[in-house]
Chains A and B, each alone.
Chain A
């Protein structure tokens, strides 16, 4: 009897232990991953941004806000902020609108829709470096496809050296990014559009809603969460794009395409000034987060207005 009682108690204790600790044990892999992959680099970057890191002598000295003071007093940084805002505007607006356009087109049934959908994925499947090289050729001043097209249409008399002009250089590096991002945006939006029940449109028609009203109050309202994600992705890319721009211009000509990410790369991996690189990285992270939050807030506020 006593043995049975002891076994029962032991089983209860084990059950109690399980209840208490098993959730932690199960969560541990996720928590460890978050700490190792996200928190630890974040804390290290913040610490580095307040330090002078001498890689040669393997010495790290705490210097307070010196890196930030140097950064904010640098002409190039403010130029990079200005350029990045223009770049981001193109990379947010163009892919979102074009992505929506292609998604609306490819959700309809027509002959060749399958081919259209396959083509839509192609830019997204290309690496950024290839996109940069490809667009370099598109806008090339002697052999570029764009110049060839404009010339054969009779719109220009001689080829235009697009990348020699600061505004065109910024525009086309942004367009190279927007091109691939359009594909990605369209894929997400197409998936969202396919989930809209047809009954909603039928009911709206019965209620007398016109095409514009149906688009605004059914299509856009339904895909709003996906649209928010697309916008957020595009904002992040608008501030964090690096590869294609580096391949196309390395930040030039002059400062024309000097994005904050290019500045970050130069500080960290050409000058090996990891302290300054970390400071730029934190500022870039805050800008991206700030702009992203504003957009999400605006999107959801207008959603609550509808509801």
Chain B
């Protein structure tokens, strides 16, 4: 038998060449993937199978294949930005609203108001929602992935047993009802998602409900010039310090809070309107008694309209990308809001289009525990998007709000000082970013 001995050097040469060719093959393959016919779609990992289904539907309708890339929720912004800076091309991607102007200014997102149907898209939205997707000078830079309004969920039975026949109308009412409920054995009457990251949303909710303008469209801190802001902060601190909320509210997650509402150990819950559906789907002894109040407690009763967005990049794929964006955030080729409807079925996510809430399919998916006229009214007349949230400095402000509000709630910062600290931060950031 002719046995050929393989020397160490030959082995290294052979395997080295093999590995090199594999690596080069990989590189060229990935390059081809990046520049091929398929559009590159990036999203966070909320129901990735549903996203895939939507994209498959789009491909079936348009013939354009779409590659889906999922980045984990935690660190999504970071992941997205790192990839873009690293030269990864993405045609269409989810984004957080507070990043939309930053991405637009950086040239990573394209304006869309010059593309076909853009006027129709904006014309069909609630007028109150449009500033959420535009720059102060009116350029459309993003489209709605979903929209929601912050609402006051309440347990009708618990309120009634404590002698209240209607949800609170003012913040003082809310405090008083909580105090009575607590006296009657409801341990933590008022729940809200006051973790650091979300304190800023509540800042908007509480200011708007008192008729305070939080910011000018350009981002000047109007809240600091309104003496009622300090009153709102004092109420906020009292709610936590006087035990009207759960003591772990500063770190609790919605899962735990929903359970408390489902079991009747809490009576009020302020968060996005789709949480009523989530609580109903989850079951529990109290779900049939959960309602949404038509207005947020406060002298004005207004609430905050939030949502996240889809943006698209510039480049040779603009027409096809825009077609996909329209499919995903507006209507499909048959004129149906099929993607938004699907999200409504999956998680009761809303859309900023009035006709969406009139659709029988949407109504069936949401459930008969929703009052659709009420939700539409909140979107149309009783909510604000706070356009300043699109400013490039806003995420940094958001972090500061989380720190300062939690300090205030714990009694380590006076409400008046918290107002000053937030206003100073805005001034400082606007100067830095100018």
Q: How far is the CB of B411 from chain A (nearest CB, A)?
A: 9
Q: In whole angstroms, what is the CA distance A269 to B249 when docked?
A: 25
Given contacts A161-B246, A250-B251, A270-B399, 20 further A-B contacts (CB under 8 A): A56-B105, A56-B106, A57-B106, A140-B256, A141-B246, A142-B265, A161-B248, A163-B251, A164-B246, A164-B248, A164-B250, A252-B402, A253-B410, A254-B250, A254-B409, A254-B410, A266-B399, A269-B78, A271-B396, A272-B81
Q: Is the CB of B406 within 8 A of A254?
A: yes
Task: Known contacts A55-B106, A249-B251; decide if A270 and B395 are in contact (CB<8 Å).
Answer: yes
Chain A contact surface mostly: loop
Those of B21-63 within 8 Å (CB) of chain A? none
A236 within 8 A of partner (CB)? no
B289 within 8 A of partner (CB)? no
Task: Known contacts A142-B256, A250-B197; decide if A271 and B399 are in contact (CB<8 Å).
Answer: yes
Those of B246-270 within 8 Å (CB) of chain A? 246-251, 256, 259-260, 265
Count of A-B residue pairs with CB < 8 Å? 74
Contacts of A56 in B (CB 8 A): 102, 105-106, 392
Q: In this complex, what residue of A is CB-closest to B104? A: A56
Q: In this complex, what residue of A is CB-closest to B102? A: A56
Those of B375-434 within 8 Å (CB) of chain A? 392, 395-396, 398-399, 402-403, 406-407, 409-410, 412
Q: In whole angstroms, what is the CA distance A166 to B249 when docked?
A: 13
Contacts of B75 in A (CB 8 A): 269
Contacts of A140 in B (CB 8 A): 256
Q: Is the CB of B247 within 8 A of A161?
A: yes
Q: How far is the CB of A212 from chain B (nearest CB, A)?
A: 44
Contacts of A270 in B (CB 8 A): 77, 395-396, 398-399
A230 within 8 A of partner (CB)? no
Which residues on A are within 8 Å of B, measured CB to CB? Answer: 55-57, 76, 140-143, 161, 163-164, 166, 169, 246, 248-255, 266, 269-273
Chain B contact surface mostly: helix
Q: How far is the CB of A59 from chain B (nearest CB, A)?
A: 11
Contacts of B1 in A (CB 8 A): none
Q: In whole angstroms, what is the CA distance A142 to B399 when docked?
A: 28
Q: Is the CB of A76 within 8 A of B251?
A: no
Q: In whole angstroms, what is the CA distance A249 to B260 when docked?
A: 20
Which residues on B are within 8 Å of A, measured CB to CB? Answer: 74-75, 77-78, 81, 85, 102, 105-106, 195-197, 246-251, 256, 259-260, 265, 392, 395-396, 398-399, 402-403, 406-407, 409-410, 412
Q: Is the CB of B246 within 8 A of A254?
A: no
Contacts of B77 in A (CB 8 A): 269-270
Q: In whole angstroms, what is the CA distance A241 to B81 when docked?
A: 24
Q: In whole angstroms, what is the CA distance A272 to B81 when docked?
A: 10
Contacts of B412 in A (CB 8 A): 254
Q: In whole angstroms, what is the CA distance A76 to B402 when docked?
A: 13
Q: Is the CB of A250 within 8 A of B196?
A: yes
Q: How far is the CB of B290 from chain A (nearest CB, A)?
A: 18
Q: Is the CB of A253 within 8 A of B246?
A: no
Q: Is the CB of A55 within 8 A of B250?
A: no
Most buried by A among B197, B249, B260, B403: B403
Most buried by B among A57, A249, A252, A269: A252
Q: In whole angstroms, what is the CA distance A254 to B407 when docked?
A: 5
Q: How far is the CB of B203 from chain A (nearest CB, A)?
A: 16
Task: Known contacts A56-B102, A161-B246, A270-B399; decide if A253 and B251 are in contact (CB<8 Å).
Answer: yes
| Nearest 6 pairs of A and B residues by beta carbon | A164-B247, A253-B250, A269-B78, A161-B247, A56-B106, A271-B396
Q: In this complex, what residue of B is CB-closest to A266? A: B399
Q: Is the CB of A253 within 8 A of B396?
A: no
Most buried by B among A76, A140, A251: A251
Q: Is the CB of A252 within 8 A of B196?
A: yes
Most buried by B among A56, A140, A246, A273: A56
Q: In whole angstroms, what is the CA distance A252 to B399 when docked?
A: 12
Most buried by B among A143, A271, A273: A271
Contacts of A269 in B (CB 8 A): 75, 77-78
Contacts of B265 in A (CB 8 A): 142
Q: How far is the CB of B428 from chain A (nearest CB, A)?
A: 11
Q: How far is the CB of A174 from chain B (nearest CB, A)?
A: 15
11 contacts between A and B (CB under 8 A): A55-B81, A56-B102, A164-B246, A164-B247, A164-B250, A166-B410, A248-B251, A252-B402, A253-B248, A254-B250, A255-B403
Q: In whole angstroms, what is the CA distance A182 to B406 when docked?
A: 32
Q: In this complex, what residue of A is CB-closest to B253? A: A136
Q: How far is the CB of A163 from chain B (nearest CB, A)?
A: 5
Q: How far is the CB of B308 from chain A (nearest CB, A)?
A: 16
Q: In whole angstroms, what is the CA distance A255 to B407 when docked?
A: 7
Contacts of A57 in B (CB 8 A): 106
Q: How far is the CB of B164 from chain A (nearest CB, A)?
A: 25
Contacts of A143 in B (CB 8 A): 256
Task: Known contacts A55-B81, A56-B105, A273-B396; decide if A250 and B195 are in contact (CB<8 Å).
Answer: yes
Q: In this complex, what residue of A is CB-closest to B408? A: A254
Q: In whole angstroms, what is the CA distance A249 to B250 when docked?
A: 8
Q: In whole angstroms, what is the CA distance A143 to B102 when docked?
A: 41
Q: How far is the CB of A194 from chain B (nearest CB, A)?
A: 35
Contacts of B392 in A (CB 8 A): 56
Q: In whole angstroms, what is the CA distance A252 to B250 when docked?
A: 7
